Amino acid sequence: MAPNNPHLKSHRRRNGELAAADPEKEKFALEAKYPGREARPGMEHCKQLSDVLYSRWTDGLRLRWPAV
């Protein structure tokens, strides 16, 4: 392909914008998605529900594969 292809230029421009993004902002967004962090005010029931569902899931795994 030709290096002066306008289609490729737009891809290079978009990729450059992604690489220039703030790494601290990306880190914060990624950490916000991790489970186990503190519940927001008014959302404590979601944390409790996730804990219950996770424990049931792990109990099911223990029953299915007891030797592991």
Q: What is the pLDDT of residues 22-40, one digit of tens each?
A: 778 877 776 776 666 676 7
Q: How far is 61 from 66, CA to CA, in rounded Å?
A: 8
CA dihedral 50, 52, 53, 59 (to 10 degrees): 140
Domain enclosing residue 34, as ranges: 6-64
The model's confidence at residue 4, banded by pLDDT at 50, 70 and 90, is: confident
27 Cβ contact partners less than 8 Å away, ≥ 6 residues apart: none
Looking at the domain assignment, is residue 46 inside a domain? yes
**pTM, two decimal places:** 0.42
Q: What is the pLDDT of residues 47-68, one digit of tens each?
A: 889 899 999 999 999 999 988 7
Per-residue pLDDT, 36: 65
Residue 5 in this model has a pLDDT that exceeds 90: no
- Per-residue b or e along 42-53, where b marks 16 or more CB atoms closer than 10 Å to that residue's CB: eeeeeeeeeeee
Q: Does residue 1 sit within a domain?
A: no
22 falls within a domain? yes
Q: How many domains does the chain have?
A: 1
